[in-house]
């Protein structure tokens, strides 16, 4: 009997079925449809084989033609079911829109009508040696339906190519392609019964490419991975199934060197999470776990349970920090959830509850992130210059470069709105480089120098020392634009971090050796301290706006400033007073002995060309 290929296909599918059933699965809509299609394929193959056995018996042993026809009909009906399941599975990634629902309803109606037609229409069978087939109106109907589902699947996949992940598209095409080729061969060579086998192979392609749950399992802990979480969340949002969840970040208090111990601790922690209940547990970072629940009450109860355990989960000392999300509807989707976790995963709190205020803050941060990204891409980062006046020389000898972002509508965003975010998320690196490049371009023409400006002061965040090697980029830019290092003065603020301070000092030393000078910014605010003031090899000290203003409103500040001026001068440093807004203030500062004055009294920060105009007006 001509059933070898089908038997092979069946055995293959049964082996895979065992594997699939054995794996731990994450139930998303995808997997249900896949299991339906897989099941249909197995049953179909069984009836494929049965129909050949029955036809054989009917033709050669006189077995009941009615029963044989019935078996043949069940087989072709299952074939159509398989095509229908495949179609649904293929449609899944295409957005759940009204139109899709319409197409799906239509496909269902066609499916029902097709199956009824197969039941009522006549079907004949033929067998001669290895040649075996069924024919007649019911068989024709099957062909028509198969062609309909295959072409509908291909059409939708091509039409919505952009909504379907590439890998899925390739897998779907391979699967459908195998069907088509097999059907084609079988149509012309009736002895080659390929369709059943091709369908089985197709299922295995889909399983290995799209549904293999091992891809979603973390090897160390056996928990689901971050990718799995992403899929799972997308699914829950798409089908509007609200949920609550929490993340736990466990910091094991062991030295880095003992990796094996840490691995062991992670495995034991994972086990503790699994013991909490049947809900899916994800490992979404080295030491971040996440569990999803249908109700906020249960999520919170379990959170408290594991929190009470947290330190005692393993005998390795650890510290756990939790973020609790009571209601998934507060966030717009998987991306926002990951964004939130990323944004707050180093929060100081042991239990952070995701509320509207935190969400708003995160949204504004991601908005700023986008603002900076786009501004860098579209070259909308601008540098303004605020003139700095030398009291002794009676002219403008310097200017501070201050960054701004121009919005697409032309309005300006002040640095206070985006620098703190950029410092936190690392965008300060590309941003700082862009500002420095613009300053170099500005200096390269030599025009400002010809107008008496000796140097430009550029702000550099301590965060830039952490991620980058500022000495390197400053040097390379100065060389590219052939700028004398003495034209650059870098303004720095302090850092409480000792490691950073060390790095800062090393870089400063390199830059000073190159000929670049430094100013200590924000003197007189909470950010300044004596240690820095003494150890920093800065040429200038910049009195902060609030410090300068305090001189006129606070007796104590006035006394401090009087004393500081002498101390700073004794230490061979110069003073720049920021925030001088009126003539009286200017005169008072000059009388106090301040060397340089910067403030609205002379000018607000202005664009480069305007600054050149300003210099021309005042210096010629």
Sites of contact with Ca ion (CB under 5 A): 459, 491, 521-522
Shortest gap between Cβ of 437 and ligand C2E (angstroms)? 11
Task: Identify which of residues 247 and 427 has a Cβ nearer to ligand C2E in the complex.
Answer: 427
Distance CA 133, CA 135 (A): 7
Task: Identify which of residues 491 and 494 has a Cβ nearer to ligand C2E in the complex.
Answer: 491
Distance CA 474, CA 440 (A): 10
Shortest gap between Cβ of 430 and Ca ion (angstroms)? 20
Give the pair of three-digit tokens for residue 51. Answer: 């129909």
Distance CA 485, CA 455 (A): 9
Q: Which does 605 bind (CB under 5 to 8 A by kind): ligand C2E, Ca ion, none?
A: ligand C2E
The residues, ordered by sequence, that sit 6+ positions from 121 with a Cβ below 8 Å of its Cβ are 136, 137, 138, 141
Stretch that binds ligand C2E, among 24-32, 238-246, 256-264, 409-417 (CB under 6 A): 409-417
Distance CA 124, CA 69 (A): 7
Shortest gap between Cβ of 383 and Ca ion (angstroms)? 13
Stretch that binds ligand C2E, among 20-28, 41-49, 168-176, 414-422 (CB under 6 A): 414-422
Task: Identify which of residues 523 and 614 has a Cβ nearer to Ca ion in the complex.
Answer: 523
Shortest gap between Cβ of 161 and ligand C2E (angstroms)? 43
Shortest gap between Cβ of 495 and ligand C2E (angstroms)? 13
State whether residue 230 is helix, strand or coil: helix
DSSP assignment of 424-481 equals HHSTHHHHHHHHHHHHHHHHHT-HHHHTT--EEEEE--HHHHHHS-HHHHHHHHHHHH
Task: Identify which of residues 212 and 390 has a Cβ nearer to ligand C2E in the complex.
Answer: 390
Stretch that binds ligand C2E, among 327-335, 442-450, 459-467, 477-485 (CB under 6 A): 459-467
Q: Does residue 394 bind ligand C2E (CB under 6 A)?
A: no
CA distances (Å), 487 to each of 200, 302, 397, 442, 520, in order? 73, 61, 11, 11, 17
Stretch that binds ligand C2E, among 131-139, 206-214, 286-294, 579-587 (CB under 6 A): 579-587
Give the pair of three-digit tokens for residue 510. Answer: 């390199």
CA distances (Å), 575 to each of 397, 578, 587, in order? 14, 10, 15
Nearest to 100 by CA among 110, 87, 86: 87
Shortest gap between Cβ of 417 and ligand C2E (angstroms)? 9
Q: Does residue 521 bind ligand C2E (CB under 6 A)?
A: yes
Q: Which does 93 bind (CB under 5 to 8 A by kind): ligand C2E, Ca ion, none?
A: none
Stretch that binds ligand C2E, among 244-252, 448-456, 478-486, 575-583 (CB under 6 A): 575-583
Q: Which of 326, 550, 579, 608 binds ligand C2E (CB under 6 A)?
A: 579
333 within 8 A of 237, measured Cβ to Cβ: yes
Q: Does residue 6 bind ligand C2E (CB under 6 A)?
A: no
Burial of 287 (0-12, 13-18, 19+ CB in 10 A): middle
Task: Identify which of residues 256 and 583 has a Cβ nearer to ligand C2E in the complex.
Answer: 583
Task: Identify which of residues 190 and 574 has a Cβ nearer to Ca ion in the complex.
Answer: 574
Q: Which of 578, 595, 611, 614 binds ligand C2E (CB under 6 A)?
A: 578
Q: Does residue 51 bind ligand C2E (CB under 6 A)?
A: no
Task: Identify which of residues 211 and 521 has a Cβ nearer to Ca ion in the complex.
Answer: 521
Per CB under 6 A, which of residues 415..454 are in contact with ligand C2E? 415-416, 419, 432, 435
Per CB under 6 A, which of residues 71..100 are in contact with ligand C2E? none
Describe the crossing of helices 98-120 and 65-91 by its angle, rounded to 10 degrees. Answer: 170
Q: Which of 403, 573, 594, 615 binds ligand C2E (CB under 6 A)?
A: 403
The residues, ordered by sequence, that sit 6+ positions from 181 with a Cβ below 8 Å of its Cβ are 198
Describe the crossing of helices 226-238 and 29-61 by its angle, rounded to 10 degrees. Answer: 90
Shortest gap between Cβ of 600 and ligand C2E (angstroms)? 4
Distance CA 304, CA 302 (A): 5
Task: Identify which of residues 317 and 472 has a Cβ nearer to ligand C2E in the complex.
Answer: 472
Q: Give alpha helix (H) positions in 345-427.
A: 356-377, 419-425
CA distances (Å), 377 to each of 10, 368, 381, in order? 55, 14, 9
Q: 461 φ, ψ to 5°?
A: -80, 150
- For residue 147, what is the enclosing H or E element? helix 137-159
80 within 8 A of 145, measured Cβ to Cβ: yes
Shortest gap between Cβ of 432 and ligand C2E (angstroms)? 6
Q: Which of 605, 608, 611, 614 binds ligand C2E (CB under 6 A)?
A: 605
* Secondary structure percentages of the chain, helix, strand, coil, to 5: 60, 15, 25
Q: Does residue 600 bind ligand C2E (CB under 6 A)?
A: yes
Give the pair of three-digit tokens for residue 119. Answer: 């039941």
Task: Identify which of residues 333 and 415 has a Cβ nearer to Ca ion in the complex.
Answer: 415
Q: Give alpha helix (H) positions in 251-293.
A: 259-275
Stretch that binds ligand C2E, among 328-336, 474-482, 555-563, 593-601 (CB under 6 A): 593-601
Q: Does residue 545 bind ligand C2E (CB under 6 A)?
A: yes
Q: Does residue 608 bind ligand C2E (CB under 6 A)?
A: no
Q: Which does 461 bind (CB under 5 to 8 A by kind): Ca ion, ligand C2E, none?
A: ligand C2E
Per CB under 6 A, which of residues 469..508 are in contact with ligand C2E? 491
- For residue 549, what is the enclosing H or E element? helix 545-553
Shortest gap between Cβ of 423 and ligand C2E (angstroms)? 7
Q: Which residue is nearest to Ca ion (CB)?
A: 491
Q: Does residue 387 bind ligand C2E (CB under 6 A)?
A: no
Nearest to 210 by CA among 165, 249, 245, 262: 165
Q: Could you list the residues that contact ligand C2E (CB under 6 A)?
A: 386, 402-403, 414-416, 419, 432, 435, 459-461, 491, 521-522, 545, 578-581, 598-600, 605
């Amino acid at each position: 009997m001509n059933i070898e290929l089908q038997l092979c296909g069946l055995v293959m599918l049964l082996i895979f079925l065992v594997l699939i059933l054995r794996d731990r699965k994450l139930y998303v809509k995808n997997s249900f449809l896949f299991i339906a299609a897989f099941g249909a394929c197995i049953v179909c193959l069984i009836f494929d084989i049965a129909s050949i056995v029955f036809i054989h018996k009917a033709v050669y042993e006189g077995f009941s033609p009615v029963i044989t026809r019935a078996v043949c009909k069940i087989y072709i009906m299952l074939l159509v079911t398989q095509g229908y399941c495949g179609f649904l599975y293929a449609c899944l990634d295409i957005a759940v829109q009204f139109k899709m629902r319409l197409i799906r309803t239509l496909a269902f109606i066609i499916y029902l009508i097709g199956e009824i037609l197969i039941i009522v229409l006549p079907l004949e069978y033929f067998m001669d040696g290895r040649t075996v087939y069924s024919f007649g109106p019911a068989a024709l109907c099957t062909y028509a339906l198969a062609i309909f589902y295959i072409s509908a699947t291909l059409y939708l996949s091509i039409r919505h190519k952009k909504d379907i992940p590439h890998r899925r598209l390739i897998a779907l095409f391979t699967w459908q392609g195998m069907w088509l080729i097999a059907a084609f061969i079988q149509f012309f060579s009736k002895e080659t019964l390929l369709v059943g086998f091709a369908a089985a192979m197709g299922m295995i392609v889909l399983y290995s490419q799209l549904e293999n749950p091992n891809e979603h399992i973390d090897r160390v802990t056996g928990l689901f991975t971050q990718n799995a979480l992403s899929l799972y969340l997308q699914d829950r949002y798409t089908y509007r199934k609200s949920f609550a969840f929490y993340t736990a970040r466990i910091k094991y208090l062991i030295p880095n060197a003992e990796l094996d111990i840490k691995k062991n601790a992670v495995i034991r922690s994972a086990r503790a999470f699994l013991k909490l209940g049947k809900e899916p547990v994800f490992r979404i970072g080295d030491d971040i776990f996440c569990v999803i629940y249908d109700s906020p009450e249960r999520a919170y109860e379990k959170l408290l349970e594991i929190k009470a355990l947290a330190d005692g989960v393993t005998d390795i000392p650890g510290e756990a920090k939790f973020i609790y999300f009571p209601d998934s509807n507060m966030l717009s989707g998987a991306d926002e959830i990951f964004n939130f976790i990323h944004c707050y995963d180093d929060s100081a709190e042991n239990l952070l509850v995701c509320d509207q205020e935190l969400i708003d803050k995160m949204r504004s941060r991601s908005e700023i992130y986008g603002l900076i990204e786009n501004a860098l891409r579209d070259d909308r980062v601008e540098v303004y210059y605020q003139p700095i006046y030398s009291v002794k020389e009676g002219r403008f000898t310097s200017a501070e470069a201050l960054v701004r972002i121009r919005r697409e509508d032309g309005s300006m965003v002040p640095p206070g709105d985006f620098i703190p975010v950029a410092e936190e998320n690392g965008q300060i690196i590309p941003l700082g480089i862009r500002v420095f490049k613009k300053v170099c371009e500005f200096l390269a023409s030599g025009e400002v120098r010809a107008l008496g400006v000796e140097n430009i002061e550029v702000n550099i965040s301590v965060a830039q020392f952490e991620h980058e090697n500022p000495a390197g980029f400053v040097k390379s830019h100065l060389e590219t634009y052939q700028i004398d290092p003495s034209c650059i003065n870098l303004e720095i603020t302090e850092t409480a971090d000792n490691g950073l301070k060390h790095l800062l000092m090393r870089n400063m030393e390199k830059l000073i050796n190159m000929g670049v000078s430094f100013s200590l910014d924000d003197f007189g605010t909470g950010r300044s301290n004596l240690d820095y003031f003494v150890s920093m090899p800065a040429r200038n000290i910049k009195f902060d706006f609030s410090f300068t203003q305090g001189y006129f409103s606070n007796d104590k500040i006035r006394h401090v400033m009087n004393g500081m001026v002498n101390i700073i001068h004794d230490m061979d440093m110069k003073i720049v007073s920021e925030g001088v807004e009126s003539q009286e203030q200017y005169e008072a500062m000059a009388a106090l002995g301040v060397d340089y004055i910067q403030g609205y009294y002379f000018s607000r920060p202005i664009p480069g060309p305007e600054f050149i105009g300003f210099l021309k007006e005042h210096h010629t």
